Structure 1
Amino acid sequence: MAQTYRALSVLLSYPTAETSALVPAAVEALHGDRLAPAGLVRRLTSLAFELSGQDLYGAQARYVDLFDRTRSLSLQLYEHVHGESRDRGQAMVELLKLYSSRGLELTAKELPDHLPVFLEFLSMLPTDEAAALLGEAAHVLEALRERLKKRRSPYARVFDILVALVETKRNAEALNALLQEPDDDPDDLEALDRAWAEEQVTFGPDQVGCPKAAAAVARMGETTQ
């Protein structure tokens, strides 16, 4: 089991005093695990300094602008596949079942497709299984990396590592489709309102199923048996 995924989860979590205190240990774990390329880990220095520095409110504001107010950079993985449709809700129900089967129980506030949560789950698995599961989201991770690079965000360096950890062949067609979608401007409030005006996600057995999502989660389950 690799601590690399838990370390990356810390770096991608909303900055708080608690997560800031964990950043030095997270970077140390990345170096010690030797799962990620050493050169990419060294390039995390600026982000680690920002997250563990004194300007916590500044780090929080930058995080919100990037990941909460910019839909094209959302850390909710299924958001990029299903939007806010019922299909996403059903996919998350299946993902919750997978988590539960491996002993991970979430709080009511945690969404299962939130990337830091997903990475925490991967840290509980053998390295080869974790890499296989990460590969299911390869095109989303790569699209997020490219968008963060355009913004010159140090968070892009976390995604450099995530993409490097993926061992499966990327779905070029799915990646191109994501990159062709408009990249949100967090300061354009009217555009953001229009973008979020979709059907709300709900959970439960009465939802319409999503065969594509169910198949993906089934493949995840097979790799973790």
Structure 2
Amino acid sequence: MSPQEAEQRALVLRLLSLLSQYPDGELVAERARLASVVAALPGPWATCELGAFVGWFGAQEADALARHYVEMFVLRRKSSLYLTYYLHGDARRRGMALLTLARSYRAAGWDADGGELPDRLPVVLEFAALAGPGAGEAPLRRHRRALELIHGAPTEAEFPYRHLLSTLLTLLPPATEADRAAVAKLAAEGPPDEEVGLDPYGTHGHGAYEEGGFAPTATFLPPMPAVPTRIPPAATSPRKESRP
């Protein structure tokens, strides 16, 4: 990968991080600027999935955007943006996964502040943009099955955020037959009936769920509005910035 390609990849990941955040007033106010950044991307990026999303995003009323986001990512358990939710139904195992993510961020010199859990997709995407394709994108590769499930979950409703997931999945290694079978099983079986509480960082817990299963309702932590990162200008490489 050339330096220019790495820069473009990081910019796409940064855009995905921003666009997958809760559409608060600051993010909505930057829609025209985001659309211009997408339009300036080289190759197929601007004319395919990202272009389709920013076209929809820019045409909606702010209240409608907020309602749609809550319906898709808060009220639907199969499209939660907390990636470890899909892999670890057991509180202790999920807590350890959260700690591992947080430690990998700190080891790379990045502090994911803002009160977000480290497995929330916009946070994972921002880390990938800042830390690069190797260690930075490792959490995305590790949770590819969760991303596939989110991408295909709300089939009964209009889901423009699918364009963001489609863009992200093209950056990851292709899905294997085992991946597809695991995603189908997750979609068909849903969460187990047993309810187990979740300590956010796994200091206690009980019960065990099969690898790749859903956590029960009580273990789900609803999304909080993400703290927006700075909007990257079209002509500059993304870089680490302090949050507002």
Same-fold call, TM cutoff 0.5: yes
What is aligned with 1:49?
58
Identity of aligned residues (%): 24
Cα deviation code 1:107-136 (max 9, x no counterpart): 362100000000010110234554554222
Cα deviation code 1:14-71 (max 9, x no counterpart): 1111111333333444444448744222322443224xx4x22221121111111111
TM-score, normalising length: structure 2: 0.69
What is aligned with 1:201?
199
**Structure 1 residue 83, shift from structure 2 partner:** 3.0
CA distance in 2 between counterparts of 1:66 and 1:195 reads 22
CA distance in 1 between counterparts of 2:38 and 2:154 reads 21
State which of 22, 25, 32 in structure 1 corresponds to 2:30.
Answer: 22
CA distance in 1 between counterparts of 2:156 and 2:97 reads 30
TM-score, normalising length: structure 1: 0.74
Instruction: Determine if contact 1:40/1:160 at 8 Å carries over to the other structure.
Output: yes
Instruction: Determine if contact 1:149/1:156 at 8 Å carries over to the other structure.
Output: no
Letter in 1 for 2:141: G
Q: Relative to structure 1, is the Cα distance of residues 62 and 32 closer, same or farther in structure 2, using a 3 angstrom cutoff?
A: same
Instruction: Determine if contact 2:35/2:55 at 8 Å carries over to the other structure.
Output: no
Cα deviation code 1:138-192 (max 9, x no counterpart): 1111111111344221111111111111125442232222221349xxxxxxxxx
What is aligned with 1:144?
150
Q: Any stretches of 5+ residues in structure 1 without a counterpart?
A: 184-193, 214-225
- Residue 64 of structure 2 is aligned to residue 58 of structure 1: yes
What is aligned with 2:73?
67
What is aligned with 1:191?
none
What is aligned with 1:222?
none
CA distance in 2 between counterparts of 1:79 and 1:19 reads 26
CA distance in 2 between counterparts of 1:121 and 1:26 reads 19
What is aligned with 1:216?
none
CA distance in 1 between counterparts of 2:140 and 2:43 reads 14
Number of residue pairs aligned between Structure 1 and Structure 2? 197
1:1-225 alignment to 2 at 5 Å?
1=7, 2-34=10-42, 37=45, 38-50=47-59, 53=60, 55-83=61-89, 85-107=91-113, 109-127=115-133, 130-170=136-176, 171-182=179-190, 197-203=195-201
CA distance in 2 between counterparts of 1:168 and 1:74 reads 22
Letter in 2 for 1:110: E
Instruction: Determine if contact 2:38/2:51 at 8 Å carries over to the other structure.
Output: no
Instruction: Determine if contact 1:11/1:23 at 8 Å carries over to the other structure.
Output: no
Letter in 2 for 1:176: A
Instruction: Determine if contact 1:66/1:73 at 8 Å carries over to the other structure.
Output: yes
